[in-house]
Chains A and B, each alone.
Chain A
Amino acid sequence: MNIVHADPRGVDSGAHFMDGDHAIAEGALAAGCRFFAGYPITPSTETAERFAERAPEVGAMFIQMEDEIASIAALIGAAWGGQKAMTVTSGPGFSLMMENIGLAAMTETPIVLANVQRGGPSTGLPTLTAQQDMFQARFGSHGDYNIIALCPDSPQECFDLTVEAFNLAETYRTPVFIMTDETVGHMHEKVVIPPADHIKVVERNLFTGPKEDFRPYRFDSQGGHPMARAGAGYRFHITGLTHDERGYPVMTAAQNQVVVTHLIEKINGNAECIIRLEEDQVEGAEVLVISYGITSRIAVRAIAEARKKDIKVGALRLITVWPFCERRIRELAGQVRAMVVAEINYGQMVREVERCAAGRCRVISVNHCGGAVHDPAVITQAIEEACR
């Protein structure tokens, strides 16, 4: 893995007053992304607009494609053409992208996709917030595969985690999702973009050996196997079909076992390196509040209210949502009386918490069907109920 400083051309260093959507575009440029293909959709469009505005001055390619299907397809072509590539969308577009998310996962193509979530299902609430695509992010395309998903809770983190998303995509050769939401996407806050030499960027791992030795894949459950850039003379072949290490189709159950196991384990097996959590007063807590994205900022108020009532409340924020922090939840399930999971959906990540808690503590879902953030009092109430 080759880690370098960011190319200063893409880094708009300084303190900005910026929304989350714009910060995603700046994070991408800082991370070395020079290819953006997208299709307008509320509430994500500002990222595309920002990238379009900045593209000429950094020599980047911006293309507005005919739809979201084409957008993510173009990313796969661009990645194998040698560029770091990203797109941005929201629920309906995310649904359209599922087919080629599968192709990116299967061909182990590093791409970054930001989903600025809005209320659903279907056209739902185009301008209003939600966190309803969390399971779709993990399981939305057909077949078994794996991905990484990050969840920023502020415009600053939109910048920081977009840089990290590109680094993870290159490290594990996988699609990485930034699962933000309308509230964070449209929230203006201070965003500090560091100088280029303070930003670490993982460069594409390109094969440099003799042509006859090149293999586009190695099914070692690790990831990060070197790629080739089209035009470099390696004459790679990639396919969505089940394939061998040369990329050639192999239509057998045995080979699918090899490929699928690799796709899943290269991420699960490195989960401890990938997962980032933020914990607050977890030691000795009776109740643990688990949340992510904008909801974790609502939970801060709820937790403060509960603490005023002398309830020992800890907070766990999922910065990395997928892979899920199974080990930590198992540990904590033996230490707390209850886990309160607040999220703007009908109960998605709470299923993962329940699975890992496995009956060793109560798990309470504080769900919300989208269109607004929680009333903090509802979360406080759930914390109080958890103590009874």
Chain B
Amino acid sequence: MNVMTADVPSEDRFAAMLRTERMPHIWCPGCGIGSVVTCFIDAVRRSGVDQDKLAVVSGIGCSGRVAGYVNFDSIHATHGRAIPVATGLKLANPELTVVVISGDGDLISIGGNHFVHAARRNMDLVVICINNFTYGMTGGQVTPTTPGSATASTTPYGNYEYPLTLPFLADACGASYVARWTSLHARNITQSVEEALTRRGFSFIEVITPCTTLYLRRNRLGDGVDALQYYQNNSEILHGIDTRETAIELQGKIAVGKFVDREKPTYLDAVTRCNAKVIGDDYQLYGKTEPEKKSAEAKKTEDQVTAGPVSGGHS
């Protein structure tokens, strides 16, 4: 692991990776999304990934707006569909590093099925879930991650559902990298994102963030500073912990750290390996191996076949 240095990037370095003409952004004072964006672009800078070869896809919601503020090829997709859009983008152009940044409602509720299957395929994506336990954009409704007994605008008497534990979900689905931090852990987020950007496969990073306007206020949990205080007092760095032990209760302990980091073939590795078995070693996705590379003899035989009255051989 890299030791993080204190050279906080200058504003100019940030500016190159932000669409500054779109500022000010829409996020509330005390919101954690901006912190995650800062960590993300710092991680891109540190990773050495070419700014022009990185694409960001977001879904809908407060976190869904990230794609519009960062200066990369970017797609603001439909609600829940950031992962399949990113999947298409990555597979169409494998040289890209594709990052999905979106919220808990977007990625885990409406987009839950896509999350499950992208992790299962070990799709080459970096997925950053900004988890603020609520739907901020629509006014503070309950999400699949809202801790038990917290109130939300659609659970005014308290949440009575069981929340999902995202590191456990990602791990169970086959993600090859799983980490969690809070927005207090700026350097750790940066480090995890940098790691994710420079490795292959499905990398999942959950960042717990405060929604000051809705979640904190409705649950009388104070403001953004109080949230950071809570994170500081209750986060415990537990690298490699069993992801079943990472559930978060209302104002309870938060297990943070890198929980999973395993090597396994990515979706593209698997496709290439399988097709090379069928086609031969010169198989190349989107490559131009046929028909130019066919031997003169093969070409001759083919000419004889096609000179006949019928059949291209696939009917």
B311 on the interface (CB 8 Å rule)? yes
Q: Would you list which residues of chain A between 228 and 255 have a CB under 8 Å from chain B?
A: 228-241, 248-249
Residue pair A15, B290 in contact (C-beta under 8 Å)? no
Residue pair A66, B312 in contact (C-beta under 8 Å)? no
Interface secondary structure of B, over-half rule: mixed
A193 on the interface (CB 8 Å rule)? yes
**Residues of chain B lying within 8 A (CB to CB) of residue A231:** 52-53, 55, 73, 93, 95-96
Q: Would you list which residues of chain B between 39 and 68 have a CB under 8 Å from chain A?
A: 51-53, 55, 57, 67-68
The residue from B51, B74, B289, B311 contacting A15, defined by CB atoms under 8 A apart: B311
**Residues of chain B lying within 8 A (CB to CB) of residue A82:** 92-93
**Residues of chain B lying within 8 A (CB to CB) of residue A128:** none
Residue pair A17, B91 in contact (C-beta under 8 Å)? no
Question: Closest approach, in angstroms, between the C-beta of B19 and any C-beta of chain A?
Answer: 7
**Residues of chain B lying within 8 A (CB to CB) of residue A100:** 78, 81
Residue pair A70, B114 in contact (C-beta under 8 Å)? yes
Residue pair B72, A235 in contact (C-beta under 8 Å)? yes
A12 on the interface (CB 8 Å rule)? yes
Question: Closest approach, in angstroms, between the C-beta of B50 and any C-beta of chain A?
Answer: 9
A327 on the interface (CB 8 Å rule)? no
Q: Would you list which residues of chain A between 24 and 60 have a CB under 8 Å from chain B?
A: 26, 34-35, 37, 50, 53-60
Tell me the nearest residue of chain B to A237, going by C-beta: B74
Residue pair B279, A66 in contact (C-beta under 8 Å)? no
The residue from B22, B284, B306 contacting A14, defined by CB atoms under 8 A apart: B306
Asked if A77 meets B52 with Cβ closer than 8 Å, knowing A59-B283, A66-B117, A99-B78, the reply is: no
B182 on the interface (CB 8 Å rule)? no
Q: Would you list which residues of chain B between 270 and 315 have a CB under 8 Å from chain A?
A: 271, 274-275, 278-279, 283-291, 306, 309-315
Residue pair B77, A76 in contact (C-beta under 8 Å)? yes
Residue pair B88, A74 in contact (C-beta under 8 Å)? yes
**Residues of chain A lying within 8 A (CB to CB) of residue B91:** 35, 61, 63, 74, 77-78, 81
Asked if A37 meets B88 with Cβ closer than 8 Å, knowing A14-B306, A231-B55, the reply is: yes
Give Cα A239 to B89, complex, Å.
Answer: 15
**Residues of chain B lying within 8 A (CB to CB) of residue A239:** 67-68, 75-76
Give Cα A99 to B313, complex, Å.
Answer: 39
Residue pair B291, A15 in contact (C-beta under 8 Å)? no
Interface secondary structure of A, over-half rule: mixed
Residue pair A66, B55 in contact (C-beta under 8 Å)? no
Asked if A14 meets B311 with Cβ closer than 8 Å, knowing A103-B77, A231-B95, the reply is: yes
Residue pair B78, A78 in contact (C-beta under 8 Å)? no
Asked if A70 meets B87 with Cβ closer than 8 Å, knowing A230-B73, A240-B76, the reply is: yes
Give Cα A26 to B311, complex, Å.
Answer: 13
Give Cα A383 to B313, complex, Å.
Answer: 45
Residue pair B92, A83 in contact (C-beta under 8 Å)? yes
Give Cα A237 to B75, complex, Å.
Answer: 6
Residue pair A9, B93 in contact (C-beta under 8 Å)? no
Residue pair B87, A63 in contact (C-beta under 8 Å)? yes
Question: Closest approach, in angstroms, between the C-beta of A74 and any C-beta of chain B?
Answer: 3
A16 on the interface (CB 8 Å rule)? yes
B86 on the interface (CB 8 Å rule)? yes
Residue pair B67, A81 in contact (C-beta under 8 Å)? no
The residue from B96, B117, B291 contacting A230, defined by CB atoms under 8 A apart: B96
Question: Closest approach, in angstroms, between the C-beta of A102 and any C-beta of chain B?
Answer: 8
Residue pair B76, A233 in contact (C-beta under 8 Å)? no
Tell me the nearest residue of chain B to A71, going by C-beta: B84
A80 on the interface (CB 8 Å rule)? yes
Residue pair B92, A77 in contact (C-beta under 8 Å)? yes
Residue pair A81, B93 in contact (C-beta under 8 Å)? yes
Tell me the nearest residue of chain A to B267, going by C-beta: A63
Asked if A237 meets B76 with Cβ closer than 8 Å, knowing A56-B283, A70-B113, the reply is: yes
Residue pair A81, B89 in contact (C-beta under 8 Å)? yes
Give Cα A74 to B22, complex, Å.
Answer: 27
Tell me the nearest residue of chain B to A65, going by C-beta: B84
The residue from B57, B290, B311 contacting A9, defined by CB atoms under 8 A apart: B290
Tell me the nearest residue of chain B to A54, going by C-beta: B314
**Residues of chain A lying within 8 A (CB to CB) of residue B309:** 15
A116 on the interface (CB 8 Å rule)? no
User: Which of the listed residues B92, B275, B314 has the most CB atoms from chain A within 10 Å of its own CB?
Assistant: B92
Question: Closest approach, in angstroms, between the C-beta of B52 and any C-beta of chain A?
Answer: 4
User: Which of the listed residues A76, A81, A82 has the most CB atoms from chain B within 10 Å of its own CB?
Assistant: A81
Residue pair A230, B77 in contact (C-beta under 8 Å)? no
Residue pair B77, A73 in contact (C-beta under 8 Å)? yes
Residue pair A16, B291 in contact (C-beta under 8 Å)? no
User: Which of the listed residues B71, B89, B95, B275 has the most CB atoms from chain A within 10 Å of its own CB?
Assistant: B89
**Residues of chain A lying within 8 A (CB to CB) of residue B306:** 13-14
Residue pair A35, B88 in contact (C-beta under 8 Å)? yes
Give Cα A66 to B173, complex, Å.
Answer: 14
Give Cα A60 to B314, complex, Å.
Answer: 16
**Residues of chain A lying within 8 A (CB to CB) of residue B71:** 235
Asked if A236 meets B73 with Cβ closer than 8 Å, knowing A15-B309, A58-B290, the reply is: yes
A279 on the interface (CB 8 Å rule)? no
**Residues of chain B lying within 8 A (CB to CB) of residue A67:** 113
Residue pair A238, B283 in contact (C-beta under 8 Å)? no
**24 A-B pairs with C-beta separation under 8 A:** A15-B311, A17-B315, A18-B315, A37-B88, A56-B274, A56-B278, A56-B283, A59-B283, A59-B288, A60-B286, A61-B286, A65-B84, A69-B84, A69-B114, A70-B114, A70-B117, A73-B78, A74-B85, A80-B75, A81-B88, A99-B81, A235-B74, A238-B75, A239-B75
Which 4 pairs, one residue from A and one from B, show the smallest C-beta to C-beta distance? A77-B88, A81-B92, A74-B88, A14-B312
Q: A: which residues have CB within 8 A of B?
A: 8-9, 12-18, 22, 26, 34-35, 37, 50, 53-61, 63, 65-67, 69-71, 73-83, 85, 99-100, 102-103, 193, 228-241, 248-249
